[in-house]
């Protein structure tokens, strides 16, 4: 990932070769969000699919974000915001009732400007990443699409959704002529 002390140049890095095609990312959780943002950062168009209808901001879920993750998020413009909103800690203490069993301190920042860990709710993390996705024209987000299978041949990749099918050619564009007409109104893109 390169030198993380230079976040600005990391964000501005672009591939030298032209990018063709589009990548489907299945799952719009933090990992899928991050994958989509990183691909888009490299100029790769992305369609981000999730079987859920919308975000369900329930529970604490993943509340502990490690420094290397913050570094990665910073390359897509989210790391500093998440780090600043989170609670920073460097020492982990494990207790049994009121007795401390052991503790360890993570003080070395290495070349990163971020702390070893921050605590922030997964819902808030997803919200911030969603803002970055909304600002990224190369990412198209589609909720309510359950991917049930993927097939590939020489001409392209077909994603099979629970109720829908969408086919793309090598250039990432839908191929209407290759799709059965009956799925025109029920592709992943519509519904």
Ligand X SMILES: Cc1cc2nc3c(=O)[nH]c(=O)nc-3n(C[C@H](O)[C@H](O)[C@H](O)COP(=O)(O)OP(=O)(O)OC[C@H]3O[C@@H](n4cnc5c(N)ncnc54)[C@H](O)[C@@H]3O)c2cc1C
Question: What is the binding site for ligand X (CB under 6 A)?
Answer: 26-32, 49-52, 59-64, 122, 146-147
Map tokens 């990749």 to a residue: 157
C-beta separation of 17 from 49 below 8 A: no
Closest residue by beta carbon to ligand X: 29
Closer to ligand X by Cβ: residue 118 or 147: 147
Cβ distance to ligand X smaller for residue 122 or 141: 122
Distance CA 83, CA 61 (A): 17
How far is residue 3 from each of residues 7, 38, 115, measured CA to CA in Å? 8, 16, 16
User: Cα–Cα distance between 73 and 144 in angstroms, integer?
Assistant: 26
Pairing outcome for strands 87-89 and 117-119 = antiparallel
**Closest distance between ligand X and the C-beta of residue 10, in Å?**
22
Span between the terminal Cα atoms of the chain, in Å: 38
Quote the least distance from Cβ 34 to ligand X, whole Å: 8
CB of 135 to ligand X, least distance (A): 20
Return the number of the residue (6 or 148) whose C-beta is nearest ligand X.
Answer: 148
Tell the burial category of 85 from Cβ atoms under 10 Å away from its Cβ (0-12, 13-18, 19+). middle
Q: Smaller CB distance to ligand X: residue 144 or 174?
A: 144
Q: How far is the CB of 63 from ligand X (least distance, A)?
A: 5
Nearer to ligand X, 30 or 45 (CB): 30
135 backbone dihedrals φ, ψ, rounded to 5°: -85, 0
Q: Provide the minimum distance between the beta carbon of 150 and ligand X in the complex, in angstroms, as a whole number.
A: 10
């Amino acid at each position: 990932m390169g030198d993380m002390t230079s976040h600005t140049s990391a964000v501005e890095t672009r591939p030298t070769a032209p990018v063709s095609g589009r990548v489907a990312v299945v799952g719009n959780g933090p990992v899928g969000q991050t994958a989509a943002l990183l691909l888009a950062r490299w100029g790769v168009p992305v369609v981000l699919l999730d079987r859920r209808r919308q975000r369900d901001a329930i529970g604490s879920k993943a509340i502990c974000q490690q420094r290397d993750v913050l570094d990665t998020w910073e390359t897509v413009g989210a790391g500093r915001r998440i780090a600043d909103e989170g609670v920073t800690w460097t020492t982990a203490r494990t207790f049994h009732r009121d007795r401390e069993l052991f503790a360890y301190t993570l003080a070395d920042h290495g070349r990163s400007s971020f702390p070893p860990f921050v605590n922030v709710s997964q819902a808030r993390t997803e919200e911030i990443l969603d803002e970055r996705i909304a600002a990224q024209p190369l990412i198209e987000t589609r909720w309510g699409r359950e991917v049930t299978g993927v097939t590939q041949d020489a001409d392209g990749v077909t994603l099979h959704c629970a109720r829908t099918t969408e086919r793309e050619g090598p250039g990432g564009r839908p191929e209407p002529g290759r799709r059965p007409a009956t799925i025109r109104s029920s592709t992943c893109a519509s519904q």
